[in-house]
Amino acid sequence: MAELQLKSARFRAEREAEWRRLESLLAKGQAGAGRLRPDELLEMPLLYRQALSSLSVARSISLDRGLVQYLESLCARAYFFVYGPRTRALERLTRFFARDWPQAVRSLWRETLAGGLIGAVAGASAYVLVRQDPDWFYGLVPGALASGRDPAASTAFLRQTLYGGGHGAHQGLDLLATFLFTHNAQLALFAFALGFALCLPTAGLLAYNGATLGAFVALFAARGLGFQAVGWLMIHGVTELFAVTLAGSAGLSVGWAVCFPGERSRLDAAVQAGRRGALVMIGVVVMLFAAALLEGFARQLVQADLGRYAIAAASGLAWAAYFYWPRRSRPA
C-alpha cells in the first residue's frame, strides 16, 4: 500500500485524535475558562505543546497544505488561550487602584507640571487681558458656555448664578451631573488622543481650557465677586482640573515619546508611553465622575463660600496624598 509508505499520512493518522481533543477543549474554554474541569485544564498545555510539535513536524515532512494550515490555525488559537490573561477582574481592579494608577500618575510628574503650567499661564494671561479690556471676554469664552454671564450682565445676576441653581436650575441635579461627566470625560479622552499628534494640539486644548477659566474669574473679580467665584469653581474644579491636566499630560507624554524617543526605538517609546497613558486615562474617567458628583450635587447643596473652599482643599489634599505620598515600591 502506498498509503503506508507515505510518512506524512501515517503521521496524521497517529496524531489526529490529539488535535481533535485540543480543538474541543478550546471550544469549551473560549466559552469561559471556568467550564473546563481541573483535569482538562491540566491537559491543555500538554496538548498545546504536542500540537506545536506536530506543526513543526508537518512543516518539514508533509506537503499537504490543508493540514499545515489547519495546524497553524489550531496552534495559534491554543497559543492565545494558554498565554491569555489570567488575572481575575476583582484582582485586577484592586491592583489598579492600589498600585498601577498612582504609579503611572507619579511617573508623569514632569508632564503634569508642564500641563499645569500651560493651563496656569493661559489662565493668568486671560485674567489680565479681561481685567484690562472686558471685550476680550467674548473672544475667549463661547456664548453657549457663558449663557448670559458676560460683561454686559448685571452684578446681581452674576451673584445669583453663583448661589442659585447655577445653569441647571430647572433640571434635576443628577441629570446635570451625568451630562457634565459624559461631556468632560469625552473631552479628556480626546485631549489624550490628540497628544499623539506631536503634543501641540493637546497643549492648545489645555491652554484654551485655562484661558476660559481665567476669563470667567476676571469677569467676576471685576464686580468684586472674585473670592466667591473661585469657591464656586474650585469645589469641583480641583478634581476636574487635576483630571484634565492628567489627561493632557498623558497625551503630552505620548507625543513627546514619539518626537524624542531617546535610546529606545520610536515604536517602543510610543508603546511604553501609550500604555502608561491609557492607565492614567482609566483613572481620569473615574476622577471626572467624582468631579461631576461634586459639581452636580455638592456645589448646589453647599452655598457657603468657606464650605466650598473647605471641600476644594480637602479634595485637593486627598488626591495629592493618594498619588504622591511616598510608598514602598513592591516588585511586580
Q: Which is nearer to another protein, 114 or 191 (CB)?
A: 191
> Do residues 185 and 281 touch, judged by C-beta distance below 8 A?
no
Query: Minimum Å distance from CB 175 to another protein?
Result: 5
Site for another protein in 28-57 (CB under 8 A): 29-30, 32-33, 49, 52-53, 55-56
Q: Which is nearer to another protein, 78 or 229 (CB)?
A: 78
3-state DSSP assignment of residue 112: helix
Contact status: 95 vs another protein (CB under 8 A)? no
Angle between helical axes of 38-61 and 65-82 (0-180°, round to 10): 150
Contact status: 110 vs another protein (CB under 8 A)? no
Contact status: 63 vs another protein (CB under 8 A)? yes
HSE of 270 in the Cβ direction (CA atoms, 13 Å)? 12
Angle between helical axes of 155-163 and 226-259 (0-180°, round to 10): 70
Contact status: 279 vs another protein (CB under 8 A)? yes
Query: Minimum Å distance from CB 146 to another protein?
Result: 21
> Do residues 209 and 244 touch, judged by C-beta distance below 8 A?
yes
Stretch that binds another protein, among 16-24, 138-146, 151-159, 216-224 (CB under 8 A): 16-24
Among candidate residues 248, 251, 253, 238, the one with its CA nearest the CA of residue 107: 253
Contact status: 300 vs another protein (CB under 8 A)? no
The whole-angstrom separation of Cα 87 and Cα 70 is: 30
Amino acid at 39: D
Site size toward another protein (CB under 8 A) is: 76
Question: Can you tell me which of 107, 160, 178, 300 binds another protein, judged by CB under 8 A?
Answer: 178
Contact status: 294 vs another protein (CB under 8 A)? no
> Do residues 150 and 141 touch, judged by C-beta distance below 8 A?
yes
Contact status: 80 vs another protein (CB under 8 A)? yes
Instruction: Provide the 8-state DSSP code for 198.
Output: T
The whole-angstrom separation of Cα 129 and Cα 301 is: 33
Query: Minimum Å distance from CB 9 to another protein?
Result: 5
Site for another protein in 133-172 (CB under 8 A): 171-172
Contact status: 190 vs another protein (CB under 8 A)? yes
For the chain, how big is the Rg over CA atoms in Å?
A: 29
Amino acid at 254: V
Stretch that binds another protein, among 83-91, 126-134, 153-161, 223-231 (CB under 8 A): 83-91
Query: Minimum Å distance from CB 236 to another protein?
Result: 18
The whole-angstrom separation of Cα 294 and Cα 300 is: 9
Contact status: 72 vs another protein (CB under 8 A)? yes
CA 96 from chain centre, in angstroms, equals 12
Contact status: 270 vs another protein (CB under 8 A)? yes
Query: Minimum Å distance from CB 290 to another protein?
Result: 15
